Structure 1
Amino acid sequence: SPTSSQRLQQSADLVTFLLELKTVLEVGLKSRPECSSIPPPQYYSQLIAEMETLGWNKLLFIDTELRTLRLKAEDSSGRQHILTIKLKSKHPAEAPECSADLPLPLATTWTPQSTLQQLHDQFLVVLESLTEFWDVLEEVDGNTWILEPEKPSRSDTMRRIAIGNNVSIKVEVDPRHPKMLPECCLLGAEHGASCLWSAGRNPDSSVLRNLRDVLEIEFPSPATHEKSDFSTECGICYSYRLEAAIPDQVCNDPRCGQPFHQACLYEWLRALPSSRQSFSTVFGECPYCSKPITVKMSAQTS
């Protein structure tokens, strides 16, 4: 560089030049924080030794800086999981950041004497504590039509299950108590939803069986129905999915029963001079049958 050439010409001897060069390099490194945070050599030897103990076959990914690792893990039911670890430059003196696709926050303990093997073992214990939760949801997913989420992840605790006639049920399974009857919310036309509740829960039955008994229905399943039977398009935008949302507002007249996206119906009714609004609820007429219909303003549309 020009600076180095100038220093070389101005230096009385080689030793003076090397001292000058050392000063220039130190200043340059201090001005580049990414360089100053490069781990010492023992970081890399420690990491390699820990991976030798853990087993390289468990390593799915490591970045070019050898800071971010993805380790695979398998629970007792054969499900595959990924533990992402971000190591600090002072590893193992500093605790790494850990994350995984779980329904609960991942809590791990770390001391300067801890290793990746111990971290992986802690992760396996967490996975075992959640196997019942995933068993419950896998039974639901395999025997009902799930409207939302479209592609459930391991961390998703909610399922919106198709019942039929523009009626669905939203269930929220508690990862800490997965066998308890989940929190439920019926969605859709009132004439279809009003008669579905009854009391009773059998602690010896599965969550899905209890839902069937409590609601006194059989859920449509992939064995008996096509998903298109429950994927009715919105009557305003003529699409099924609007970003992540699906039609969840339904005309309550049994002869109509047209579904709408909440956002579409809200904007439609709000634009009509005949509609009226009270707080967060808009009252108007169904665009299809002109019967009374209401929609509550959501947080997204407010």
Structure 2
Amino acid sequence: MYLPLPPSPAASGPTMLSQCPLFIPQDLPGRVYDGFISAQDMDFRLRVILPADLQMRNARLECSWQLTKALHGYQHVVKQRLQHSSDLSSFMVELKSILDVALKNPNSSEASPAPHYYSCLVKDIDSLGWDKLVFVDNEFSTLKLKIEDSTARVHLIIVKLGARSNLQDIYNQALSALESLKVFWDALDEIDKKTWVLEPEKPSRSATVRRIAIGNNVSITIDVDPRHPTMLPECYFLGADHVVQPLKEKLNSNIHLWDPDVGLLQNIKDVLEIDFPSRTDFDKSDFSMECGICYAYRLDSAIPDQVCDDLHCGQPFHQACLYEWLNSLPSSRQSFNIIYGECPYCSKPITLKLLNKTF
């Protein structure tokens, strides 16, 4: 026996009868519907049981295993539409649309958002503040947000939204993650401000490494753990052996002085028993960090990272420059990855370890 559909609010667009003619009511109150929903020339069995108040958010769906498989990856979208549909007719029209997309894109797990998705997103942006929105694509699925942490550092994050995403939650989670890095950034900001950082020239917030000038042709490279920024970082020295060796010895003998409650820069000073000169100090002195071969500080993106070990020389060189120089000498020789020759500055013996680098 065919029972007529109960009246639903007037709406433009396709109706359940036109979209799902094989899905019919099974009782007079219109609380139980059974039948088939069709998409892509396939029919799928579906049963919907509505509560006494006919509210869709409390409805129960009983899907055939074929329909469950077809909607795999889209269950959250179906549940969302169920929560926000005003009546069964509008829900079934949307369900057919979702099923069409799922069958056309079996490897995709996202369906097109419903209109209410956009209204909710606009409300989220209103709540956050439109000044925090830097970019949004045409589909409102990819956003770029500006976040300012508690120390007034400005960060940009890219957010790819799904049908279940809540922008406020995403923003709060990102802010929490940024706040967890406060001590790490505080430590590196102090180093960038109070020392001469040789590399990187313009460090990003994700950069954990700093190469810091100590003196003429002498530097230290530190690699800070963002999760434990107050602990002793990995340290590497660059310079002539007669200068670097005493620094290594101080690091080993004074490591017990490291205090996690003291700032990173102050700890390094205490352990090495030195004061780091600033860039201004170098500018006012006769210190030179230029390559003794090409007479430039930067060669492409590289800075001098080789030095002559002679006590009275200590001239720095770019690795590439020194390699070319030693290769041009008839008297130079190579053993495995080490080239032996003469310093182009003082003519004293000098070696270059290639470290698997090709030129």
- TM score, norm. by length of structure 1: 0.74
SS of 1:81's equivalent in the other structure is: strand
Task: Indicate whether 1:287 and 2:344 are aligned.
Answer: yes
**Residues 216 and 48 (structure 1 numbering): CA distance in 2 closer, same or farther, change over 3 Å?**
same
SS of 2:247's equivalent in the other structure is: coil
Task: Indicate whether 1:48 and 2:105 are aligned.
Answer: no
Separation in 2, partners of 1:40, 1:209: 53
Match of 1:84 in 2: 158
Q: Equivalent of 1:237, from 249, 272, 294?
A: 294
**Residues 285 and 222 (structure 1 numbering): CA distance in 2 closer, same or farther, change over 3 Å?**
closer
Larger RCO (CA under 8 A, 6+ residues apart): 1
Separation in 1, partners of 2:279, 2:237: 21
Match of 2:304 in 1: 247
Identify the range of structure 1 (40-49 vs 72-81) with the bigger mean alpha-carbon deviation.
Answer: 40-49
Task: Indicate whether 1:202 and 2:202 are aligned.
Answer: no
Separation in 2, partners of 1:241, 1:64: 43
1:199-225 per-position Cα deviation (integer Å, ceiling 9, x unaligned):
232313221111112111111024644
Q: 5+ residue gaps in structure 2?
A: 1-104
Match of 1:130 in 2: 181
Separation in 1, partners of 2:356, 2:298: 18
Task: Indicate whether 1:184 and 2:235 are aligned.
Answer: yes
Pairing of 1:1-302 with structure 2 (within 5 A): 39=112, 42=115, 44-87=118-161, 91-92=162-163, 112=164, 114-197=165-248, 198=250, 199-200=253-254, 201-203=257-259, 204-222=261-279, 224-226=281-283, 232-301=289-358
SS of 1:121's equivalent in the other structure is: helix
Separation in 1, partners of 2:111, 2:286: 57
Separation in 1, partners of 2:325, 2:280: 38
Identify the range of structure 1 (214-223 vs 63-72) with the bigger mean alpha-carbon deviation.
Answer: 63-72
The structural deviation recorded for 1:264 is: 1.5
- The higher radius of gyration belongs to 2
The structural deviation recorded for 1:270 is: 2.5
SS of 1:195's equivalent in the other structure is: helix
- TM score, norm. by length of structure 2: 0.63
Question: Structure 1 counterpart of 2:149, which letter?
Answer: D
Question: Structure 2 counterpart of 1:246, which letter?
Answer: I
Decide whether the 8 Å contact of 1:165 with 1:192 is kept in 2: no
Kindly report structure 1 stretches of 4+ aligned residues shifted beyond 4 Å: 37-41, 227-231
SS of 1:196's equivalent in the other structure is: helix
Separation in 1, partners of 2:142, 2:324: 45
**Residues 278 and 46 (structure 1 numbering): CA distance in 2 closer, same or farther, change over 3 Å?**
farther
Separation in 1, partners of 2:284, 2:237: 19
**Residues 86 and 268 (structure 1 numbering): CA distance in 2 closer, same or farther, change over 3 Å?**
farther
